[in-house]
Amino acid sequence: MKYGEICLLLTAMCISLSECLEGFYGSDCLHHCLCQNGGVCDRFSGGCSCPSGWTGAACELECAHGWFGADCAQPCACLNSGVCDRRSGECSCGPGWVGQYCQTACEAGLFGSGCEEQCRCKHGPVCDHVSGVCVCPPGWRGPLCDRACLPGSYGKDCVLRCNCPHGTSCNHVSGECGCPPGYTGNGCEQICQPGTYGLNCNQVCQCPGTNQLCHPDTGLCYCTPGYHGYNCNQECDKGRYGPNCERLCQCRNAGVCQTTTGTCQCLSGYIGADCNISECQRVVICNNPSSHVLLTIYGVCCAQGWYGVDCGQRCNCRNSGMCDPVSGGCTCGLGWTGPSCDRECPLGSYGANCKLRCDCNNNGTCDRVTGECRCDPGYYGHLCEHACPAGFHGHRCQFQCKCRGHAPCDPSTGHCLCPPGYHGYRCEKECEQRRFGVGCIQSCDCEGDTPCDPMTGRCLCPPGKMGTHCDTDCPVNRYGPDCSESCECRNGGWCDPRNGRCTCLHGWIGPTCRKERKAPHHSLTLVSYLVIL
């Protein structure tokens, strides 16, 4: 036996110290190693070299939070409460954060784990990138920021009070009095009805084509989605859609896109938002000719609901989601999303894996499968973009208004919107004496019993009076209602401010005191004539 070697008596074989049997150490290889969890035992001292993720004298301790690697010697670099893998140091980000070190917040419009959730907020899709709670822009309120501030309030969180004259609308965003061109309503939250535009929506559009819309602000005519050309009489060419046909269709495998929205109609055998998924791909006949099962890249036919090497792992795809036979990843069908296809599309999205955005206007909601818009009462159109035409209201605008005198009605409820000067359930009543305005709720501010215009409240001055309140006498040489007429009395004749009658001075006669009196003198010095108007 050589120095430093051990002879096995039974076999007369010698082994080197460097070749202690696994689990032993020391000069005689008789000491048992105590290393756990894959730790490597030093052949001389028995000390443990721990693998990534473990530490301690016997590698019995997992890395403490914030440390990773061999013997837990490396600090984690994860930010924003990201969790570090104790072996590799790879960061697992919490909701609202992505990136190698969880350093990047979700893009605007996204939130949650992996930033895979879409914000459901209206009027600027901004939500908290962690929780998804909507952050409403100024002028809007509600869980989805879909409701304008109540009349009389405006601004961020609708906490500011309007300071507008009574009866004047207040912009729910800026607080400005009176609506900007293109908008109407108590809070200026309603776009002008189709066919009208401008300040107070009192201008009538002049668009001649049937496929044209009028810009509610400027009145300029433009084509409805799906049409283009000088008179908007040409449908979009194949492969294009949207306003003026400016957008390119994204449909694959000969899918046909709708010229208005760009939604793909897939040919038989294909599915997906852009028809990119073949329903028959990787499908073969295995064992049972009557059943179709998936073929993996390993050449093994997995039964439906299984995947991986030897088909040993069960798929977790729900709601008819397609399971990848290799990775087990789910490809969600129409109306579903999530890693397991177990979540319905959130509001504002639809289609395969909820990748398509709804374009419904005026609080319309879209079908999570087809994307078809369901309009609230008072609106109609492919995208709920039109308010009911004048004289109609309700669901699909199928009910006629019952208001008198061509007064409009609320397109949602059918309640009559009486013009100034009228009131009543059907606007059948005129304002009572000395009342005016919308709903006849305002009182005239005129002198005495002077009436006012039932629409505007302007005082209707009697003959001989003028001024805002009809409390001022007519000036010299003026007469009549509101002192609107000019006197015609000449040669110093006095004009009655009520009726314009001239009272002539001595020596003059006639309706306007223009004729010189040539008859003998009489005792009377003043002669009155009535001016015939």
pLDDT at 98: 92
Report which listed range, 259-263, 385-389, 485-489, is most confident: 485-489
- Full 3-state SS string of 165-223: CCCCCECCCCCCECCCCCEECCCCCEECCCCEECHHHCEECCCCCCCEEECCCCCCEEE
3-state secondary structure at position 438: helix
Which residue type occupies 72?
A: C
Nearest CA-CA partner of 368 in 354, 381, 382: 354
**227-255: per-residue pLDDT in tens?**
988 888 888 998 888 878 888 888 888 88
Average pLDDT, stretch 478-486?
90
Q: How confident is the model at residue 283, as a pLDDT?
A: 45
Residue 53 confidence (pLDDT): 87
Q: Parallel, antiparallel, or unpaired for β 527-529 and 365-366?
A: unpaired
Comparing 344 with 288, the larger pLDDT belongs to 344
Residues in the chain: 533
Q: Using CA of residue 452, residue 454, residue 455, residue 457, what is the dihedral sign?
A: positive
Q: Are 493 and 506 in contact (CB under 8 A)?
A: no
Q: 293 pLDDT exceeds 70?
A: no
Q: In the chain, what's the furthest Cα-to-Cα distance? A: 178
Of 485 and 302, the structure prediction assigns the larger pLDDT to 485
What is the reported pTM?
Answer: 0.35
SS3 label, residue 133: coil
Give the residue range(s) of CATH 2.10.25 domains in the chain: 5-62
Rounded to whole angstroms, how far apart are CA atoms 521 and 491? 18
Unique residue bearing structure tokens 């599309």:
345
Question: pLDDT higher for 84 or 285?
Answer: 84
Over range 181-194, report the average pLDDT: 75
Tens digits of per-residue pLDDT, 20-76?
788 888 888 888 888 888 888 888 888 888 888 888 888 888 888 888 988 888 899
Q: Determine the pLDDT at residue 166.
A: 64
Q: 248 to each of 251, 280, 333, 371, how far by Cα in Å?
A: 9, 27, 24, 19
pLDDT at 509 over 80: yes
Q: Per-residue pLDDT averaged across 79-85, rounded?
A: 89
Work out the burial of residue 403: count CB atoms within 10 Å of its CB; fewer than 13 is exposed, 13-18 middle, 19 or more buried. buried
Start-end ranges of CATH 2.170.300.10 in the chain?
Answer: 224-273
The more confident residue out of 260 and 93 is: 93
pLDDT digits (tens, 9 = 90+) for 108-156: 888 988 888 888 887 766 789 999 898 888 888 888 888 888 878 888 8
Of 114-128, 413-427, 456-470, 491-505, the poorest mean pLDDT is in 114-128
Instruction: Kindly state the average pLDDT of the residues 203-212.
Output: 84
Residue 100's nearest CA partner among 90, 112, 109 is 90
| 179 has a pLDDT exceeding 80 | no
Report pLDDT digits (tens) over 444-475: 999 888 889 988 899 988 899 999 999 999 99
Return the CATH superfamily for domain 224-273: Tie2 ligand-binding domain superfamily (2.170.300.10)
pLDDT at residue 371, as a whole number: 83
Residue 295 has pLDDT above 50, yes or no: no
Amino acid at 307: Y
Tell me how far apart the alpha carbons of residues 397 and 392 are, in angstroms, rounded to a whole number. 6
* Positions of E strands within 82-198: 83-84, 91-92, 97-98, 104-105, 110-111, 117-118, 140-141, 147-148, 153-154, 160-161, 183-184, 190-191, 196-197
Per the prediction, the chain carries an average pLDDT of 81
Residue 381 — pLDDT band, cuts 50, 70, 90? confident
Give residue 146's pLDDT: 82
What is the pLDDT confidence band of residue 11, given thresholds at 50, 70 and 90?
very low
The answer to whether residue 333 scores a pLDDT higher than 80 is yes
* DSSP helix/strand/coil, 300: coil
User: Which distant-in-sequence residues (6+ apart) come within 8 Å of 127 by Cβ?
Assistant: 109, 111, 119, 120, 121, 133, 134, 135
pLDDT confidence bin for 285, thresholds 50/70/90? very low
What pLDDT is attached to residue 16? 52
Neighbours of 365 (CB within 10 A): 16
User: Six-digit token pair at 5?
Assistant: 């070697």
Cα dihedral 382→385→391→395 (10° resolution)? 60
State the average pLDDT over residues 395-404. Answer: 79
CB atoms within 10 A of CB 122: 18
pLDDT of residue 502: 92
Alpha-carbon span 128 to 135, nearest angstrom:
7
Between 268 and 345, residue with greater pLDDT? 345
Q: Is the pLDDT of residue 349 over 60?
A: yes
From the list 119, 120, 116, the residue with the least C-alpha distance to 363 is 120
pLDDT-derived band at 510, boundaries 50, 70, 90: confident
Token digits of residue 156: 């961020």
Instruction: State the pLDDT confidence band at 6, using cuts at 50, 70 and 90.
Output: very low
The domain 5-62: what is its CATH number?
Answer: 2.10.25
pLDDT at 337: 92
Decide which of 28 and 4 is more confident: 28
pLDDT category at 357 given cuts 50, 70, 90 is confident
